[in-house]
Structure 1
Amino acid sequence: MQAPEIEVPIIGAKPAKDIGLSVSEGEYSLSFGIGELTGRVRGDTGMRSLLRQYLEPRVNEMLRVINQELLIPAQQRLQQMDKQGLVVIVDNLDRVDNRQKEGSKRTLPEYLFVDRGDQLRQLHCHVIYTIPLNLAFSNEFELLKNRLGDVKRLPMVPIQRQDGSDLATGMALLKQMVLARAFPDADATERLQGVEQIFEQPTMLERLCQISGGHSRNLLRILRRCLEEDDPPITHDCLERAIREHRDDLSLAITSDEWALIQEVTQQQKVSGEDGHHTLLRSLFVFEYDDPTEGRWFAVNPVLRETKKFRSLQAANHQTIP
């Protein structure tokens, strides 16, 4: 079988003057020729493999050229516009598969962020990388921090303390996140006065925030389900139906072993470095919180607490749900 032909750009051949920086209503856009590669290799594993073989020995040269022809000129242009500099956010790397790298005992995240960490730091700008959660439980975590610097963990918005008592500040922030989408030009007080334009009953907003567990994406996902069904004000039945659908979708994927681990987290409010616990966090069965005084702790996703399975396990163990 003949290998597919690919066109690989000559790194460094594109002069710096071809780099584009456009400004529109306060938004800045950079263009660079290498971006044209994306569409050609996406979805073709054979082509990606060939491209990797070609680019692997040229990584350092690529970094040098990207710095000289893209980042440094961009920084200079931004500073001429009285901006402090350039920040690049490399998102979705937290989705890198945790499988072993071919021909190595290292996992792909360890190879990318630990073994190649020094190269990731060579870009001449501020860079924010998202990383897979399992690296936080890896034996390589300290080495990772030495290579890339401090790792910022983003816990849930705290709406409850570790002892189960409510935390009003976190709840207020989540409410404002919802209301700001409905009343973007109003202040915080005015938004609260408009709750009944969005929800049939004011208590429904608190119910939505509470069931989200402080996970903003889950909150907005449930809200979107409601809005797809009907226009505001959202009815009580509509909200509960959206919560139930979200709960059923999530619980459907939980195995018996994972239910046992969920029980452990309920009892201990912590997770270990075991693979099963990684799954609980990655699958959003368990949420991480950070208390300024008590430190990091973990709790079961509130929507799972309303399942018959969870309640039956609690009853069997004679536990109360905090």
Structure 2
Amino acid sequence: IKPGWWSNRDQRLLDDLENSLTTVIYQDKETDTEQLELPEVLKKLGLILKRGLTRDMTKTLNIRPAVSDIIARVNDIIKAAEKDRNQKLLVIVDGLDRHDLRTALEMFASPLLTELECHIIYTIPISLRYSPSFRQPMESFQCLDLYNLPVFQCDWPTATLRDRNSGPTSTANKVGRDILKSVITKRLAKINETDLFTPDALELLSEKSGGVIRDLIRLARGACQVALKKKKEYVDTTIAKEAIQEERKAYTINDYHFPELATVHETGRLTTNTHHLPKQGDVVICDELLQNKYVLGYYGDHTWFDVHPIIIEDLEQWQASQNSGAGNREQGTGNRESGIGNRE
């Protein structure tokens, strides 16, 4: 909370909020509610909202009325602050995209998140955005998609989107890549460094970012660190590949992921196939792939999906092993048939 956001604050409203928080916070033995300043009060509010929307808490404590009272007190503060500043407040709640799909769905299915009377922006997990279970809760929100820049072309027929021959290609998307490269060059220009990356290295880093700006910056930073370690004055493709390989280590692909990755890469569409996990039960595999950025979403005239380029070689190796295994099995069958013929 920025200093001075509410210059003529009403202490009575803050006291009312603190009292409403105390009715729930006292259940937490580690919580000290004495002398809470406003930022700390709102931190406690975030804790209570989170706990009030989780299954474990509601099993033992019916806090819905208390949370409603807390929200009413916060709305009183919002009205007073907006009147004092003569402008609307905007609240940005970051970090909710880090929750698993099940927890996020419970949170956003609750009407509590829409009861604060101000402009508010929530981040959500990407898998929740495309989950069929979120369609009804989504009606309470205006969803703003943050687009990934495509680094490859995706072919769709003009007559119908059901053509099975359509999907992602290996053809570079020049427009998307040029924008990504400009992000790096413009940052370098600010420090008067225009030749730090060779054109080929910049092209490779843009491709392997998958069009995700955060991944692009991390790859570029990693490449600079490799160059410094090797005492090089610039980043070439060799250094870029080493940085990409290091970043690739952060991705752990399970065996049951590969068939879905192959399908998405071939068709540009998500599947609804599930896999049973001991602690989570049946999970939609593509939801997990989206959440972990193994699969990325792209938008334009239509929505399509593709495998993150940084793991495409893993997918190709898996496909090669599958084809090799199938060939060996066919050869073995042929040998057995030949043996039978000889015995006859």
Aligned counterpart, 1:27: none
> Where has structure 1 moved over 6 Å in runs of 4 or more?
38-41
**Shift in Å at residue 166 of structure 1?**
3.1
CA–CA distance in 1 between the matches of 2:225 and 2:250?
A: 17
**Shift in Å at residue 8 of structure 1?**
6.1
1:195 and 1:202 in contact (8 A); partners too:
no
From the superposition, tell whether residues 268 and 36 of structure 1 become closer, same or farther in structure 2 (CA, over 3 Å). closer
Aligned counterpart, 2:11: none
Aligned counterpart, 1:102: none
What is the one-letter code of the residue matched to 1:203?
D
**Shift in Å at residue 127 of structure 1?**
0.8
From the superposition, tell whether residues 38 and 145 of structure 1 become closer, same or farther in structure 2 (CA, over 3 Å). closer
CA–CA distance in 1 between the matches of 2:250 and 2:184?
A: 23
CA–CA distance in 1 between the matches of 2:296 and 2:127?
A: 14
Overall identity of the aligned pairs, in %? 24
From the superposition, tell whether residues 158 and 4 of structure 1 become closer, same or farther in structure 2 (CA, over 3 Å). closer
TM-score, normalised via structure 2 length: 0.66
Residue segments in structure 2 that go unaligned for 5+ positions in a row? 1-26, 49-55, 156-168, 274-283, 325-344
**Shift in Å at residue 49 of structure 1?**
5.5
Superposed counterparts of 1:72-87, under 5 Å? 72-79=79-86, 85-87=88-90
Larger radius of gyration: 2
User: Helix, strand or coil: the match of 1:158?
Assistant: coil
From the superposition, tell whether residues 228 and 53 of structure 1 become closer, same or farther in structure 2 (CA, over 3 Å). farther
* Per-residue deviation, residues 153-190 of structure 1 (Å, max 9, x unmatched): 333112322033433332222112222322238xxxxx
Aligned counterpart, 1:93: 96
User: Helix, strand or coil: the match of 1:32?
Assistant: helix
From the superposition, tell whether residues 61 and 184 of structure 1 become closer, same or farther in structure 2 (CA, over 3 Å). farther
User: Helix, strand or coil: the match of 1:155?
Assistant: coil
CA–CA distance in 2 between the matches of 1:261 and 1:277?
A: 7
**Shift in Å at residue 214 of structure 1?**
0.3
What is the one-letter code of the residue matched to 2:105?
E
From the superposition, tell whether residues 170 and 255 of structure 1 become closer, same or farther in structure 2 (CA, over 3 Å). same
User: Helix, strand or coil: the match of 1:306?
Assistant: helix
From the superposition, tell whether residues 228 and 73 of structure 1 become closer, same or farther in structure 2 (CA, over 3 Å). farther
The reply to whether residue 182 of structure 1 matches residue 182 of structure 2 is: no
**Shift in Å at residue 223 of structure 1?**
1.6
The reply to whether residue 228 of structure 1 matches residue 239 of structure 2 is: no
Aligned counterpart, 1:158: 150
User: Helix, strand or coil: the match of 1:241?
Assistant: helix
CA–CA distance in 2 between the matches of 1:142 and 1:39?
A: 25
Match of 1:109 among 98, 104, 108: 104
**Shift in Å at residue 249 of structure 1?**
3.5
CA–CA distance in 2 between the matches of 1:226 and 1:241?
A: 8
TM-score, normalised via structure 1 length: 0.70
